Structure formats: C-alpha cells, structure tokens
Amino acid sequence: MADKFEQLEQQLELFIEHSRQLGIMVADFQPQSQEVLNKKLNNMITVMKDLDRMRGSVQDVQVPVDVFEYIDQGRNPQLYTKECMEKSKAKNEEVRGKIEALNKLRGHLMVELNKTFPHELNKYRAMREERQ
C-alpha cells in the first residue's frame, strides 16, 4: 500500500517539475526552443498518462476537502494532520474541563440535596443502583 503512494508521489513530483519547467519556457519563449518545448510537452503527457493509470489503485482513498483548501491556500498539506491533532487536543482539554466542572457541580448538588432532601436522595440512589 505504501508503495503505491510512493509511486504516486514520485509521479506527482514529476508532474510539478515538468509544469514548472514548461512555465519557465513559455514565459520566455524563443522560436529556436520549439523542439525542446515539444519534448517537454510530450514528457508532460506521458506523466499525465501514468497518473491516469495509477488512478485505479488509489481510488478508494478518502481525502478530506480541507486538505485541498489547505493546498489552495499555499500551505503545506503535511501540516494539516499536525494542525488537526492540535485542534483535537485543545477541544479535548476544553471538554475535559467541562466534564470536571459538571462533576464538581453534581457533587455540590448531591451534598446540598442530601442536606435538604435526605429521604428523597436515598430513594434516588436506590433506584440508580437497581438500574446498574
């Protein structure tokens, strides 16, 4: 499985490099470089055909849309996972804090309920034990 991704990565890097080279050649086009440009275009077509052949082997891979947005913004897609993990960790800590606060509130409520309604609280605890 990793092998198919390595091949895909190599082909994509070739595609990017050919695109870069073509961009340079077209931006500064000289009539005498037409043959070299044609060769580069043929290389680009070959790489695109290879990418098309590889499509079937990676068709089952799901990529979050956010990754493409990341790339469109000129950001490194490898940092996407890191950023997601950092966001998840921060959210986890936030939720953990809320859970702790609710547990403390529950504890305080139970103490106050025990003071005010001890009989009803004992019935409640007995019902909870029956359910478990």
Dist CA 3 CA 49 (whole Å): 19
Q: What is the mean pLDDT of the chain?
A: 89
Give me the helices (H) in the chain, please. 2-27, 34-54, 65-72, 78-116, 118-131
Phi then psi for residue 24, to 5 deg, are -65, -45
The whole model's pTM is what? Answer: 0.50
Residue 33's contacts (CB-CB under 8 Å, 6 or more residues apart) are 25
pLDDT of residue 1: 56
Q: Render pLDDT for 80-93 as a digit per residue (tens, 0 to 9).
A: 889 999 999 999 99
Dist CA 20 CA 26 (whole Å): 10
pLDDT of residue 60: 84
Residue 79's contacts (CB-CB under 8 Å, 6 or more residues apart) are 70
pLDDT of residue 95: 97
Looking at the predicted structure, is the pLDDT value of residue 120 above 80? yes
